Chain A
Amino acid sequence: MAVRQEPLQEIVSANEPSRFRVVAAGLWRFARHQPLGALSGIITIATFLLAVGAWWGIIVPHDPEVFHGADRLKGLWSTSADGERLYVLGTDDIGRDMLSRLIKGAQLSIFFGLAIAAVSTVIGGVIGLTSAYVGGKTDLIVQRVVDAVQVIPFLVLAIAIVSILGPSIRNGFIAVMILAIPRPARVIRSSVLAAKETAWVEAARSLGASDKRIMFRHILPNVIAPMIVVSTYTLAVAIIVEASLSFLGIGAQPPTPSWGAMLTGSGAVYFETNPRLALLPGFSISIIVFATNMFGDAVRDVLDPRLRGSR
């Protein structure tokens, strides 16, 4: 037996393409079938890189929080009164550079959204996985609590929690995170319930695999697709909720630039004369949320075997 195993392994490894090429080919196939989805993925990743750059202080042309009294409400592509600064997208009502504020706003939105998506998917995933795998009373109780939280509208509860904890972005994060957990928990629970009944899990169990091994080696890889889809959904929702809270004045506090807050303050006051102040942050939110949604949709189409057949 030992003699036969050696050459067999060699044949397998000789025909196996490198990992990089597998990934590259997969990405290429994705881009060809889902051109809009791929474009959206690029927009999402580019915004993410912009946010990281803004964090390190590069990419941001001017200080977004410093105001210049002489440069109030400058139009697109204008220079400052002392001729030193170029305002690509103009300035707001107290002379702060719009482009820098938009980029800093992207940083807030993206990190807020990604952090919510990551934390809620992991916590919700663990809850869903255990709840479905253990079953019985635990499952019943967990599901009732998830039901109860889901009946109350997301934004309504977030408003209550944030305004009572005190308006700040940190409290907004806490509120949104708590409220974002039920959905992944439920989605992953139902996928696990389906995976639990499959033949390969039964096969693994009859071979004597432990519960832990079955859960993490056999079930988890099969619920990765719904996890990705639900996390892109959470990302989009979290960005909108953050913007909504800031719009209502209970999210990010001035002078921190936030897309939602930019719309409600100077954006609403100056819309007659300078609609740019409201339109720029508004379209920024719409585009990034659109891109995440499109990307999530494309990933779902590729990963969902039921939809794959119909293409």
Chain B
Amino acid sequence: MGQYIIRRLALMIPTVIVITIVTFGLLRVMPGDFVLAQMSEARGLDPESTERFRQELGLDTPAPIQYVKWVSGIAVGDWGESFWLRDPVLHVIGRALPISAELGILAIGIALLIAVPVGVLSAVFQNTWIDYLGRTVAIAGISIPNFFMALMIIIFGARWFGWFPPFGYQNPIDHPWENFQQFFPAALVLGTALSAQNMRMIRTTMLETLREDYVRTARAKGLTETSVTLRHAFRNALIPVVTLLGLQISTVVGGSVIVESVFQMNGVGRTYIDAVNQRDYPLVQGILLMLVSVTLVANLLIDLSYSWLDPRIRYS
């Protein structure tokens, strides 16, 4: 097990290296940089001070040298300093991450709360109206764009319930109710989109496991239908669903970019959009690297959970 984890971590290194090269290269190949982006706002910056500005930010050295500097900094925990905020990248991410993490966890929780019962019922009552309704609602859930749903919640929340998204981040421990009011609608938007995928996956795998020999055996033993469905079929149907959860982390991150800007939450997604608009290279690179690392580690944890879910799977 320990060896397996080490091997998996080692295998991540090439992927991370490819990604650092891709993100770094992408930002440097494209026209315009931070200095030019600032210039367009504060006109009248003479060539001399632009040059000094570039030197100060380390943009005057050739790209490969900048890259090596950046990567060697990461190795010792120095992710560079944001051009725009003049703050270490790790601090900026550290401020935004709790918000996005809470949003993401809440969204995945909501997604599972919807998807598990609907998916199981859909499979048990295959090709009845329950199944058709469940599937249609699920596809509708994927089809409504995040931003439209968020906008509708804001429109009708204000109109019917007098609800307005509270501004400013409220800490969940000191102000649990304000925090909930702030996060629940946003998490609901993200969660419904995820629940649709989960529900379809649960339905398909449940249909497969319900036809397995061990389910027939369980029925033949005279177990109740509930026990057969939940203890024998459902638990074995979980593996593909858990895999999907790993893939969905990137969907959550992508969705949070939109949802955070509609609900005005200062999470990683919104910080990212600002950073891209400002050509704030260190911050954009830092955020992308962080997102990729989180996704990779989460997928490793998910692979490890397989052996707990299905005792037949053993890692060596």
Contacts and interface: CB of A to CB of B under 8 A. Distances in A.
B208 to A, nearest CB: 9
17 contacts: A144-B14, A151-B250, A153-B250, A153-B291, A154-B250, A156-B272, A160-B26, A164-B276, A240-B145, A248-B273, A268-B151, A271-B151, A272-B158, A287-B143, A290-B139, A290-B143, A293-B142
Contact of B15 (A147, A260, A272, A286): A147
B108 interface: no
B62 interface: no
A154 B155 contact: no
B152 interface: yes
B258 interface: yes
B168 interface: no
Interface string A227-262: 000000000100010011001100000000000100
A247 B277 contact: no
Nearest to B261: A248
Interface in A21-39: 36
A19 B16 CA distance: 53
Interface of B: 14-15, 18-19, 22-23, 26-27, 30-32, 126-127, 132, 135-136, 139-140, 142-148, 151-152, 154-155, 158-159, 207, 250-251, 253-255, 257-258, 261, 272-273, 276-277, 279, 284, 288, 291-292, 295-296
A11 interface: no
Contacts of B146: 244
B15 A247 contact: no
B272 A286 contact: no
A29 to B, nearest CB: 17
Contacts of B142: 236, 289, 293
| A-side interface mostly | helix
Contact of A148 (B19, B143, B152, B258): B19
Contacts of B19: 148, 151-152
Interface in A160-175: 160-161, 163-166
Contacts of B154: 271
A116 interface: no
Contact of A247 (B26, B159, B258): B258
A147 to B, nearest CB: 6
Contacts of A290: 139-140, 143
A265 B15 CA distance: 40
Contacts of B151: 263, 267-268, 271, 278, 282
A278 B261 CA distance: 17
A272 B159 CA distance: 8
Given A151-B295, A155-B254, A263 B15 contact: no
Contact of A282 (B22, B152, B288, B291): B152
Given A145-B18, A148-B19, A155-B258, A263 B148 contact: yes
Given A267-B151, A278-B155, A152 B258 contact: no
A154 to B, nearest CB: 6
Given A156-B272, A159-B257, A297 B145 contact: no
Contacts of B296: 151
A81 to B, nearest CB: 28
